[in-house]
Structure 1
Amino acid sequence: MWLVTSRPLAMTLRLFPGESRERVHVLEPDTAACRVIQVGRNAFFHLIDVTLDTALPLDCLIGYDLQIPSASGADRSMAEWAPYLLYPGQTHPCFVIKSRIDRLLHGSCRKPHSRARDGLVRADQWLAEQGNAEARPAVLLMTGDQIYADDVAGPMLVAIHALIKRLGLYQERFDGAVVEDSEALAQDPASYYRREKLLPAFKSNEALRERFFGGVEKPIFTTNNAHNHLVSLSEVLAMYLLVWSPVPWTLIEPVPPELDESLRERYCEEAGVLKDFVQGLPSVARILANVPTLMIFDDHDVTDDWNLSALWEKTVYEHPFARRIVGNTLISYTLCQGWGNQPEAFQEVLESLADLFETACSDGVLDSGPQDELIGRLQHFQHWHYELPTSPPLIVLDTRTRRWRSERHPSRPSGLMDWEALTEFQQALLGHRAAIVVSAPPMFGVKLIEAVQRIFTWCGQPLMVDAENWMAHPGSAHVLLRIFRHSRTPGNYVILSGDVHYSFVYDVRIRDQETGPRIWQITSSGVKNEFPPRLLEWFDRLNRWLYAPWSPLNWFTKRRRMEVSPYLPDRREAGERLWNGAGMGLVELDESGCPITILQLNADGSPATRFVADQKVFNAD
């Protein structure tokens, strides 16, 4: 459990496991069961990891109540201090531990100021309708871009700065930056909507370019929306609090900054969208409190084009300010997402992290030495991925930090996983009949879009089109396809992905191999984001025309030994394969691990979209 409070708390965890008797666990701060890390004057992260003497029962509702002391000393239940976490008729939140993964929710790309509705709110509404334990999902998987650190609305950045001040989040000093520290960053005239002037390697940043790059402009923060790119550690931590919980919004009264007329208009438009976002946060917090939730990062959790190529990595990590910006997002991810996936893998990292924040206890400013040292450690950390011994096993891949870099052409996109990481992936698969795999980018994507990315790469402009997909790097593509053809790897794969801002389903099989595996590529994106509608419509149409089964263009792809049959959204026109609508994916699996129902719960409240197999369409890949 993950909880942030204004002071360290001794708590009592009460478990109500089905028909069994109540279990009580006293959680004292700074013990193995309740690690407390102070990140500001009034901000304490409680990382709760309770080891049980006996296992909890399976396939039944397990209630819990995290009680905290009141001013009078009496314990307050969650129904008192967080009533929005309870569904109607509940006295406390509850969850289910399934004997097998029979149903799951998944999605990626949740941008607060997107005009789309929030898919997590829709998923919460759906969960409220599921009365018994059997109908509940086994897990909620957030498959990337849980925040957008590189694309922040002006009103959100104002709220971030207000929360930093309210909680007294620790400040930091910068090396190699136009501004000296995080406090000066917030006060700089370019802090709102003009941060590209403060980021490394932009034309306006001539002094830094002369100092670090010999006057040559090199791309680092390449996103087109870097006007409010998060920089400091306190900014990223504050954003996590603001996107997960309604409580921080009640603690602040954001005051709009001085802006010119055009920016004031944009600010007001974004403020209106964020108002709707904030209204949905009680529902977001509720579903996270009632369903076991796991996460993995993608690029926007850090910055656009994160580790896209060897040249990008060299450029960023040799620049102290750029390295700090990326490192701050990794520290925040560790505290707010990564730790909860696999606590045992982060014990030593948490020690260093706690030591870092202790350096700020006296004056409220982090010591740069330990901060840079921790960033270096996280830069080479190799346990972001994880797997669960569920049925089927759940394997979550790190497609961002263990990349197959091109030594001959460092500017070309790296493979999403290197040979060693792919070998570990294969070892995790051996001996299983079926597997659920989370890959933030789709393993099998839309070939036309991949072709466009390849053209831009040949022209030396991979950053312009986010040219990263599994087939972009010959080495990683070859090894990945060999894994699927291995005789001892599973017969059924369900691959869950996001990243692309539209949803689709492919049924993939290996040519001329009767006993080969069956692979379902299920992509749900975004939770709160959408692809430009007209552009996606043309991509969908052209992809069908150019890569029909008889098209010779299929022979120029790396997947020509695979047969790909698309599923069709039941609410689209005939033949269309891509669904453009914010929401959450819902997948139901049979006992062999094969999907029997694939839905997109639409955030706009319309009926769920069902993906159905079309036997007439069989796209030879």
Structure 2
Amino acid sequence: MTASLRLGPLLRHAGETTATVWVETDSPCRVTVRAEDGTRASARTFTVHGHHYAVCELSDLPPGAHLSYEVLLGDEQVWPEPGSPPSILRTLDPQAPTQLLYGSCRTPTGDTPEGVVRHGPDLLRATARRLAREPVDGNLLLLLIGDQVYADEVQEPMRAFLRETREGSGGLPEDEVVTYGEYAELYRQAWSDPQVRWLLSTVPTLMVFDDHDVRDDWNTSAAWRRDMDRLPWWQTRVTSALGAYWVYQHLGNLSPGDRAQDPLWVRVRAAEADTAQEVDAFALRAHEEPESYLWSHRHDVGGVRVLMTDSRCGRALGEGDPSGGSRSILGAAGHAWLDENLTGGFEHVVVVSGVPVLLPPAVHHLEAWNEAVCAGVWGRWPRGPGERLRQALDLEHWGAFRHSFARLSAAVGELSRGERGPAPATVLFLGGDVHFSYLARARHRDGGGSRITQLVSSPLCNQLSPGLRRTAALSASAPVRIAGRVMAFLAGVPRPPLRWRLEGRPHFGNTIGEVSFEGRRARARWYHAPVGGPDALPGVLVESPV
């Protein structure tokens, strides 16, 4: 029986002389990636829960290469498909300008009329159309920074799959995925659209999870985790989510050298049989002992350092004094990793966090106030209502983790003052999650020479309802900002070490962000898809120096 390509190819980690291609097949086989210059790499598939994958690592490629490639299963070419445009292997050129495309929160709709009405146009599809007609020179990376899949808000094709495959399986939520096989189908549906599939096959892509990749409000607080642990299906769900994330998203983030040092990869690659038991055990431990695995990853592209941080799985959720580190959005290991890598000597340092570091100030103050109340600053009785408010309003970003915010702010201040090596021109925060887009300019209260900027681009395809847009817009207004600061003051929360303001009004609607770096200059753009049918190219919504 001849194997077929079930998903991919995905072009993942790219170095100056290396490129990684990930695929899923429908049966075991040997996968070969063959570039137009004759360079090739082959790998035998590995198996997890009956699903088959391969990671092909091409090496000895020239820096700055743009090479078309083919995928073979055994001796049969299966990609590109007939009539499809060529897919391109890209390597990095340390001397070339760099562009980062970034976004989060995507619900696949296929740009159907009903999907566009509810969720808006799909900016990954629109970006594929733009790049097919307007090729980009230099270094181009796509950063998917959370909610690549919605495991808890599935669409009708996925609900139909659950109905068909769960006969006799009672007690599971009807509109949420639970098992590894269900996650595999969720990823297949998310990445099988022809335009998205081509985009992911030709632009090096780095990923990090946010809550919906596992479940809404994942790791909001210790109380949230206790509530979830009482659900009989939750252990299977979180184990499946993290195992699938490691396979579908995280493996491709790693360089060949880093992947070779990953203990789970070493075991999986060497195994002859299905590795479900090993992957499940790893995933459960990552959930129960967050310090056991580091999901964050670093990428240096010429003069740009990109730090992709895990602000979800590694959280410490203690309920003591928040200023003492009992609550931490990165956890001890995550903060140590960020401290180690947040160094000077680069023209630009980019810190990527699924949840924005700098929210509209009013929301930041509200979250800091809520954290203090939940920790007991006003006594015991307000803690319960405070926790209910935290979960109802999703008060679980950096502002709700005062220790982490202060620690990151101090490190950024040192970096911008040249205390961690030559100061970069910009320290840039990239974020998503909140379903609106904005630019915020910041400075440290103790001074510093680097520009400090927060850029948020969200969603790729999951626009807010009109009611939620009005609420979010109100959160950025001056009266609410003042009220939030007063509430934080009354709870004894000190002023944050960074001062920031939003530039202009937040944008509501689907967007994909772009940051272009050339020398010590940086420029931000947001693209949106205008009305004009499925072939309309996205246009620049906002452009601003960073």
Q: Same fold (TM over 0.5)?
A: yes
Tell me what 2:38 maps to. 23
1:587 aligns with 515
Change beyond 3 A, Cα 1:603–1:500: farther
> Is 1:128 aligned to residue 109 of structure 2?
no
Match of 1:493 among 415, 418, 427: 427
The separation in 1 between residues aligned to 2:508 and 2:326, in whole angstroms, is 27
Given residue 337 of structure 1, which amino acid in structure 2 is its aligned partner? Q
Contact 1:547/1:553 (8 A) holds in 2:
no
- Say if 2:366 and 2:484, in contact at 8 Å, map to a contact too: no
Kindly provide the CA deviation profile for residues 554-584 of structure 1, in whole angstroms up to 9, marking residues without a partner as x: 984765543324333xxxxxxxx11011131
Q: Secondary structure at the match of 1:444?
A: coil
Query: Does the CA contact (< 8 Å) of 2:104 and 2:460 recur in 1?
Result: yes
8 Å CA contact 1:107–1:526 kept in 2: the answer is yes
Give the counterpart letter for 2:539 in structure 1: P
Contact 1:122 1:583 in 2 (8 A): no
1:303 is paired with a residue of what secondary structure? coil
Alignment match of 1:335 (pick from 247, 266, 269): 247
TM-score (norm 2): 0.78
Q: CA deviation at 1:138?
A: 1.5
Does 2:444 match 1:510? yes
Identify, as 1 or 2, the structure richer in strand. Answer: 2
Q: Deviations over 1:347-379 (max 9, x none)?
A: 42235557999369xxxxx76xx6753333333
1:395 aligns to what SS in structure 2? strand
Note closer, same or farther for the CA distance 1:68–1:232 as it changes in structure 2 (3 Å cut).
closer
Does residue 286 (structure 1) correspond to residue 222 (structure 2)? The answer is: no
Question: 2:454 & 2:471 partners in 1: Cα distance?
Answer: 22
Question: For residues 348 and 96 of structure 1, do their structure 2 counterparts lie closer, same or farther at Cα, with a shift above 3 Å needed?
Answer: closer
| Identical amino acids, percent of aligned pairs | 23
- SS, match of residue 335 in structure 2: helix
2:17 maps to none
Deviation at 1:228, TM superposition (A): 0.8
Corresponding residue number in structure 1 for 2:33? 13
Mapped to 1, the partners of 2:485 and 2:136 lie a distance apart of: 52
Q: Deviations over 1:447-482 (max 9, x none)?
A: 233445456664221211221111212211221111
Indicate yes or no: 2:470 matched with 1:537: yes
- 1:324 aligned to 2:339? no
Shift of 1:337: 0.5
SS at match of 1:396: strand
Which amino acid is 2:284 matched to? G
Contact in 1 for aligned 2:365/2:488 (Cα 8 Å): no
Q: CA deviation at 1:303?
A: 0.9
1:187 aligns with 2:168: yes
In 1, distance between residues paired with 2:30 and 2:485?
67
Q: What per-residue deviation string (whole Å, max 9, x for no partner) do you get for residues 498-552 of structure 1?
A: 0111111111112352x34321101000111122334323542453222679997
Q: Which amino acid aligns with 1:424?
A: W
Q: 1:107 maps to what in 2?
A: 103
Distance (Å, rounded) in 1 between the aligned partners of 2:480 and 2:350: 28
1:211 aligned partner: none
Which residue of structure 2 lines up, in the alignment, with residue 597 of structure 1? 524
> What pairs up with 1:524-563 in 2 under 5 angstroms?
524-541=457-474, 543-546=476-479, 553=486, 556=489, 560-563=496-499
- For 1:83 and 1:601, how far apart are their aligned partners in 2? 28
Paired residue for 1:170? none
Q: Which residue of 1 aligns with 2:273?
A: 358
Unaligned runs of 5+ in 1: 17-21, 30-34, 163-182, 191-197, 200-225, 246-280, 361-365, 569-576, 615-621
Alignment of 1:214-253 (within 5 A): 227-245=174-192
| CA contact 1:453–1:465 (8 Å) conserved in 2 | no
Matched residue SS, 1:460:
helix
Contact 2:47/2:274, CA 8 A, preserved across alignment: no
- 1:455–1:187: structure 2 CA closer, same or farther, 3 Å change rule? farther
Shift of 1:158: 1.4
> Does the C-alpha gap of structure 1 residues 119 and 559 become closer, same or farther in structure 2, counting only changes over 3 Å?
farther
Distance 1:375 1:546, change over 3 A: same
State the match for 1:375 in structure 2. 283
TM-score, with structure 1 as normaliser: 0.69
Task: Describe the shift of the 1:228–1:105 C-alpha distance in structure 2 as closer, same or farther (beyond 3 A).
Answer: same
- When residues 502 and 542 of structure 1 are mapped into structure 2, their CA distance, relative to the original with a 3 A threshold, is closer
The answer (yes or no) to whether the contact 1:506–1:522 under 8 Å persists in 2 is: yes
Root mean square deviation, CA, Å: 3.3
Task: Give the stretch that moved more between structures: 555-564 or 496-505.
Answer: 555-564
**Structure-2 separation of matches of 1:601 and 1:149:** 25
Match for residue 36 of structure 1? 46
Pairing of 1:148-159 with structure 2 (within 5 A): 148-159=150-161
- CA drift of 1:112 comes to 2.7
State the AA in 2 paired with 1:373: A
In structure 1, the residue corresponding to 2:514 is in which secondary structure? Answer: strand
Q: Which runs of 5+ in 2 are unaligned?
A: 1-20, 110-117, 374-385
Cα distance in structure 2, aligned partners of 1:509 and 1:456: 25
Please give the alpha-carbon distance, in whole angstroms, between the structure 1 residues aligned to 2:217 and 2:484.
Answer: 32
Shift of 1:586: 1.5
C-alpha distance in structure 1 between counterparts of 2:399 and 2:527, whole Å:
26
